[in-house]
Structure 1
Amino acid sequence: MAKQNAPVEKNETITLNFEDLTHEGNGVGKINGYPLFVPEALPGEEGKVKVVKANKNFGFGKLLELTKESPDRIEPVCHVHCNGCGLQHMSYSLQLEMKQNQVKNAMKKIAHLEHVQVLPIIGMDDPLHYRNKVQIPVGEKNGELITGFYQKRSHRIIENTETCVTHNEVINDVVKTVRDIANRLGIQAYNEQDHKGVLRHIMVRTGEETKDIMVVLVTRTDKLPHQDELVKELTSEFPHIKSVVHNVNHKRTNVIMGDESKVIWGDEYIHDKIGEITFAISAKSFYQVNPTQTKKLYDKALEYADIGTKDTVIDAYCGIGTISLFMAQKARKVYGVEVVPEAISDAKKNAKLNGITNAEFYVGEAEKVMPWWKMQGLNPDVIVVDPPRKGCDEELLKAMTEMKPKRIVYVSCNPSTLARDLRVLEDRGYATQEVQPVDMFPQTGHVECVVQLDLK
């Protein structure tokens, strides 16, 4: 049988009607049933498209001109193509609808849970300026320091894009000020081509509730030139700065931070609050970047856990104890496990900071620690899991179900791996009750979910 060719060719210009969106937010139009994925196109629109790639079963196009616009099209606040927030051209209501459908499709097509209720997504009142952390690369142009994000699929810095519309606005001001002071003091930018120069990245973290600010300066060199002058100017400009950290990264690598960090001014930690719990956040702590939505997410997780005062809870992938300490407010005992030793150290500090004595934290891989706990006679009433994007290890799912908790609460940042894992948990004796999507990252294609599962 002869191989069937695509009905379009590369570099061909066509007129296309768009009828759907991919989970990344690309418009989908079809030519004789053959789908073309086109960035920045919306359902209900028509436009001229240049075919940039034509595979056997689908292709990709570039939008040249719109001949019919959707009422959901809005003017982006930012026109920089750094690939950080690619949904700015669509109304926020359409963004939420797209993410809701993404979760529903994953439940239906991957988990085969057609009848499970996916609740309306929890959005933000103001879907801008929500990020409490940023890491900005530093470069040089015509002898002057420049800061900004990398252009899509490149390591070319787009100048002056540190004023991102998703960042807390004070972060943008701090990055610009650090750059200007460093420029005036003659501190060189790092050059990744010849692995020379000094300043690689500027990282800024803020506390939403406390207004605390931490600045981390990442250099190739062991010493930060003009360190004292830089710190003095910066801290007098921003009185909310509580910590300035110098991080050293000698390696030729895309990894932003190196292993060696030292506080050069102020404290090792800044603080923030989510609900009633205060968290100490170090330079390397994992802490949710959208605290407003994190509170909504954790409140839902707490509701789904339905913890009584006699209940024991295990928090797998506990990080710095964010979910564990929320659960400890209601539970008899909480056990947190996490593979990163620094995170467990932070979790213990956070428990002490809040006067919480019924939470214990252990370093290790959850899939190995939990069977050992079971052998010691630990029988949890509730297990909470919040894995990375790749989802849960198969051994962890097995360990969770063999402990037979009456409830599992699954927090996920990837609907596809969530749905895959829900199918396994269903087949191992658990019933998915409800799925609650939460928009943690407006203007991007990412969506978070929290799910309640009960023992059948």
Structure 2
Amino acid sequence: MAYAVQQNDRLIGEIIDLTHDGSGVAKIDGYPLFIPGALPGETVEFKVTKTLKKYGFAKLLNIVEPSEDRVEPPCPVFPECGGCQIQHLSYEGQLERKRKMVRDVMDRIAKLPDVPVHPVKGMEHPWRYRNKSQIPFAERDGKVVAGFFRRGTHTIMDTETCLIQSTEADVVMRTIKHSLHELGIKAYDEQKDKGFLRHVVIRKGKATGETMVVLVTRNRKFKKKDEVVELIRSVVPDVTSIVQNVNDRKTNVIMGDETVSLYGPPVITDKIGGVTFEISARSFYQINPDQTEVLYSQALDYANLSGNETVIDAYCGIGTISLFLAKQAKEVYGVEIVPQAIEDAKRNAEVNGFTNTRFEAGAAEDVIPRWYKEGKRFDVLVVDPPRKGCDEHLLRTILEYRPKRLVYVSCNPATLARDLRILEDGGYKTKEVQPVDMFPQSSHVEAVTWLELR
């Protein structure tokens, strides 16, 4: 008879896998237990904390036999912080686990065991890569705290540094945190919906060095704005833009609808692959610019453009992939459901002098059929959907109009695999998959996939 795992049991087991959120997986008589902090190949002692019908959770107590890939995490708040999940795994180990994650879903969900999944393209220096930091502020026991949320909670851990964000972000976070009371400014109290400063967002153009500081406040009236602007400029002399964003709603959403410039222009610029982008306080822009160039160059490679193709970029955002494609395509049509993103895309095309792009706001599954009805024909379709994958209506649209080549840029291997199965059954052949590490020290992986119409 199989052993029935009970809460509070202390057990020893071997870790056989890693979940999408970086927890180790052990099986006791076939019953999976998820153990944060444990790594594949390790034998560990753990205490069962929660049992459900099909799986349970446990707390790591002791590492009996460590993995060869285990390293000492350099961050003082790992693993309490929810920002990184696998700092305790060597970078070579991280890349191998991420490749395995993609390989597993290709086999199990997409049913494509013969499709090549290449080694993950990683970073030479996998630290300090984030060009955007969003730091919550709060009052606790009469003291200002700022940092990052404790894993699985909405409790801020008071921190002084983050090893995956820019050094400028660290300096701004510490300076404002230690100066708020002196300036007579209250940090936001989420429970009481009181106070003034909610978040500080720091954005940096990697190629240009331009830096923007966004002060997210509960109301517009900003009594000490001149003093705060001078304070930020004194510690980050290269800051080019300081703006106030007003969010008066009781919500977990960081930004509000109103943005006011306090110093400098309302945008900063950055360059990726020779293309210039204007970035406002609320613009969507990839977090890791070095790897974004790797990711989009791979998409461009799989698109295999000769200069005569007309291309659709579905989920085009502010036009980042579209403008990469426009360098080598005859025409690029971008579609995105967020109207502000489309305005940003049009402006970015204008800034770079592209005249072979057209952007339209709307749902891809609605706009693309209309383009076909207007007589347009497309050779290549590029999709870069959110984590939930492609909308099923868009997949049906693709299978109806059948562009000869697809490039699928994915931030979620599981939904990528699900969608590939649908596209394969509809007449496409998956040629190969190239994973790219956009978020070192985290368990996330992106992948670019090349498909051809059979």
* Partner of residue 85, structure 2: 86
Structure 1 segment 310-325 matched on structure 2, within 5 A: 310-325=308-323
Contact 1:23 1:99 survives alignment (8 Å) = no
2:34, 2:235 → 1: CA distance?
47
Contact 1:5 1:56 survives alignment (8 Å) = no
2:51 to 40, 49, 54: 54
Alignment of 1:151 with 2:150, yes or no, is yes
Alignment of 1:27 with 2:21, yes or no, is no
Contact 1:383 1:407 survives alignment (8 Å) = yes
* Partner of residue 99, structure 1: 98
2:307 to 306, 309, 328: 309
1:313, 1:6 → 2: CA distance?
57
* Partner of residue 74, structure 2: 77
Per-residue deviation, 1:142: 4.0
The TM-score, its normalising length taken from structure 2, stands at 0.97
* Partner of residue 285, structure 1: 283
Per-residue deviation, 1:5: 7.9
Alignment of 1:341 with 2:339, yes or no, is yes
* Partner of residue 41, structure 2: 44
Secondary structure of the corresponding residue to residue 158 of structure 2: coil
* Partner of residue 224, structure 2: 226
1:34, 1:27 → 2: CA distance?
14
* Partner of residue 178, structure 2: 180
* Partner of residue 125, structure 1: 124
Q: Which amino acid aligns with 2:48?
A: V
Per-residue deviation, 1:22: 2.4
1:137, 1:164 → 2: CA distance?
13
Q: Which amino acid aligns with 1:29?
A: A
Secondary structure of the corresponding residue to residue 149 of structure 2: coil
* Partner of residue 240, structure 2: 242
How many residue pairs get aligned? The number is 452
1:53, 1:197 → 2: CA distance?
37
* Partner of residue 207, structure 1: 205
Distance 1:364 1:66, change over 3 A: same
Tell me the alpha carbon deviations over residues 350-401 of structure 1, each in whole angstroms, 9 at most, x when there is no partner: 1111111111111111110000001001111111110000011111112223
Q: Which amino acid aligns with 1:446?
A: H
1:316, 1:100 → 2: CA distance?
26
1:280, 1:144 → 2: CA distance?
37
Per-residue deviation, 1:47: 2.1
Structure 1 segment 342-381 matched on structure 2, within 5 A: 342-381=340-379
Mean Cα deviation higher: 77-86 or 428-437: 77-86
Tell me the alpha carbon deviations over residues 219-261 of structure 1, each in whole angstroms, 9 at most, x when there is no partner: 1112122001111221233222111111111111111111111
Alignment of 1:65 with 2:65, yes or no, is no
2:32, 2:150 → 1: CA distance?
27
Contact 1:6 1:55 survives alignment (8 Å) = no
Secondary structure of the corresponding residue to residue 148 of structure 2: coil
1:393 to 386, 391, 394: 391
1:139, 1:24 → 2: CA distance?
27
Instruction: Could you tell me which runs of 5 or more consecutive residues in structure 1 were left unpaired when the two chains were aligned.
Output: none
1:210, 1:280 → 2: CA distance?
11
* Partner of residue 18, structure 1: 15
Contact 1:72 1:91 survives alignment (8 Å) = yes
Per-residue deviation, 1:43: 2.2
1:17, 1:430 → 2: CA distance?
40
Per-residue deviation, 1:452: 0.6
2:111, 2:182 → 1: CA distance?
60
Secondary structure of the corresponding residue to residue 149 of structure 1: strand
2:39, 2:129 → 1: CA distance?
25
Contact 2:168 2:236 survives alignment (8 Å) = no
The TM-score, its normalising length taken from structure 1, stands at 0.96
1:93, 1:420 → 2: CA distance?
28
Mean Cα deviation higher: 170-179 or 405-414: 170-179
* Partner of residue 448, structure 2: 450
Per-residue deviation, 1:91: 0.9
Q: Which amino acid aligns with 2:143?
A: E
CA RMSD of aligned residues (A): 1.4
Contact 1:379 1:403 survives alignment (8 Å) = no
Per-residue deviation, 1:403: 2.4
Per-residue deviation, 1:308: 1.6
1:119, 1:47 → 2: CA distance?
31
Mean Cα deviation higher: 365-374 or 14-23: 14-23
1:304, 1:137 → 2: CA distance?
40
Secondary structure of the corresponding residue to residue 170 of structure 1: helix
Contact 1:6 1:57 survives alignment (8 Å) = no
* Partner of residue 140, structure 2: 141
1:84, 1:166 → 2: CA distance?
9
Contact 1:6 1:54 survives alignment (8 Å) = no
Query: What fraction of aligned residue pairs are identical, expressed as a percent?
Result: 53
Contact 1:6 1:56 survives alignment (8 Å) = no
Mean Cα deviation higher: 329-338 or 172-181: 172-181
Q: Which amino acid aligns with 2:230?
A: K
Q: Which amino acid aligns with 1:326?
A: F
Secondary structure of the corresponding residue to residue 255 of structure 2: coil
Secondary structure of the corresponding residue to residue 272 of structure 1: strand
2:432, 2:415 → 1: CA distance?
17
Secondary structure of the corresponding residue to residue 360 of structure 2: strand
2:92, 2:356 → 1: CA distance?
42
* Partner of residue 406, structure 2: 408
Per-residue deviation, 1:160: 1.8
Q: Which amino acid aligns with 1:388?
A: P
